[in-house]
Amino acid sequence: MPRSLTICILCGFAALGIAMLLHCNAPQTDAADAAATRPAPTERITYLPPQTTGLVASDEIDESSGLAAGRTNKVLWTHNDSGDQPRIFAMSYAGADLATLKIKGASARDWEDMCSFAIGNRSFLMLADVGDNRASRDDCKLYVLAEPKLTANSKGKKLTVPAAMTINFKYEDGAHNCESVAVDTTTKTIYLVSKQRASSCKVYAIPLPNKSPKKPLVAKAMGTLKIPMTTAMDISPDGLRAIILTYQDAYEYIRRPDETWTDGFARPPRLIKMPFRTQGESICYAPDGRTLYLTSENLPTPLIKIPAKKPASK
């Protein structure tokens, strides 16, 4: 064999060996990295300019800190920040006072958020006693109650309903301040987002139990979000969108039906500009899973709607 041909063959084998070595030593991407590069799972919602639908009529709602859209009733539910009684308020989508519900068997150390969700044909409300500015609480509480059916006779009345379930929990890595809670019923999981002054926060997950646990559950970290000072959260009824609010704007995360929220929260969020509020600590999806509603602490309290453009008919 000619010497020149031998050298070419040897060089070829050497190049192949180097390529294989580089491939074996190349850093491998994990599922989160892969999710971050995949396209969005659903159609992109076009959010329209905000509208103030009215002012919250009840002067007892002076620090609206959580907001949820009813599933049993066409109402919005809200509650005050720390210092109030264990109660929630029902109001119309224009802010009219409809009813006040005292939650029997609950206490209110520092309620910071609430959400609504449905399992089968039953609708529930969850109240999050999770505020912890000093990050010193041994455990936090979540109260779940069946959403009561309001009637014309309920208007303006003060009613009492029991807490159907109390969930005591603690974080796996120590105490955290938190103002954001949501439930994804497609996986029966509770999600919480810590509130931190740095430019990032953590997402924690707790399985949604069927009854009050005898021992505190453990909220396990499952992601880090590069957003600051989170004040509220909600997940759309189909479980594919999560909206997380800050004092300024909101961030929407999305996942595919075949993905977990570990994948969804790894994908860069969409920034959604929010209107000015004096202290915005509440947000929720309407039952359509597209329209957004917000309130603000302090009086007078505006009720703000972020409409969504109707999807094109197929």
pLDDT at 167: 98
Which residues, 6 or more positions from 210, have their beta carbon under 8 angstroms from its beta carbon?
none
pLDDT at 313: 66
Q: pTM for this one?
A: 0.86
Looking at the DSSP bridge assignments, the partners of residue 132 are none
Question: Rg of the chain over CA atoms, in angstroms?
Answer: 24
Q: What is the pLDDT of residues 176-234, one digit of tens each?
A: 999 999 999 999 999 999 998 888 999 999 999 999 999 999 999 999 999 989 999 99
pLDDT at 279: 87
The domain limits of the chain are: 30-306
If you average pLDDT over residues 19-28, what whole number do you get? 34
Residue entry with tokens 């796996």: 172
CATH of domain 30-306: 2.120.10.30
If you average pLDDT over residues 6-23, what whole number do you get? 36
Strands (E) across 81-237 are located at 87-91, 97-104, 111-119, 122-129, 140-146, 157-162, 165-171, 178-184, 189-194, 201-207, 217-225, 230-235
Give Cα separations from 22 to 9, 17, 27, 39 (angstroms).
Answer: 20, 9, 10, 29
